[in-house]
Structure 1
Amino acid sequence: MAKNEWILDVLSDLNAFAVANGMNALAEQLADTSLIAAAEIASIQDEARASPDGKKIQFEPNPGGFGKHRHA
């Protein structure tokens, strides 16, 4: 697991607890927070994967749900 991805597991556990205990507003907020955390982690990982020639690698979603990359 990558350095920061553990937080996604924690947020998932908190969300499951909130759902199981009828804390629906909290569960919704935790779901939103998980999306934000995943986006930020991906952003950090993208920066770390910059190509050696200094060009940034851009990722685009495709209809299959997996990203495809292209060089800027």
Structure 2
Amino acid sequence: MTNDWIIDVLTDLKKFSATNELGRLADHLDDTIMVAANELSSEQSEQLVGSFDQARGHAGPAHSGDSA
């Protein structure tokens, strides 16, 4: 994950919020951290699949063999 630094930033903001009695913000940042982690995980998975397809010489979707 090349963009995982955003999780660290959001976590720092959450700690600051909780320490400074900004409970609702801290709760929302919990949700935001989960969304960011899921998106970064999906992004990483897509990159891995793309790399795998390139390594195998994947040129696109399979064809049925019918030439119309």
Across the aligned residues of Structure 1 and Structure 2, the Cα RMSD in angstroms comes to 1.1
More relative contact order, 1 or 2 (CA 8 Å, 6+ apart): 2
Question: Larger helix proportion, structure 1 or 2?
Answer: 2
TM-score, normalising length: structure 2? 0.73
- Aligned runs of 1:46-57 on 2, under 5 Å? 46-50=45-49, 51-52=52-53, 53=56, 54=58
User: Post-superposition, which runs of at least 4 consecutive aligned residues in structure 1 deviate over 6 A?
Assistant: none
- Aligned runs of 1:1-72 on 2, under 5 Å? 2-50=1-49, 51-52=52-53, 53=56, 54=58
SS in 1 for 2:26: helix
SS in 1 for 2:2: coil
The code of the aligned residue for 1:46 comes to S
CA shift, 1:3, in A, is 1.4
TM-score, normalising length: structure 1? 0.69
The aligned length equals 53
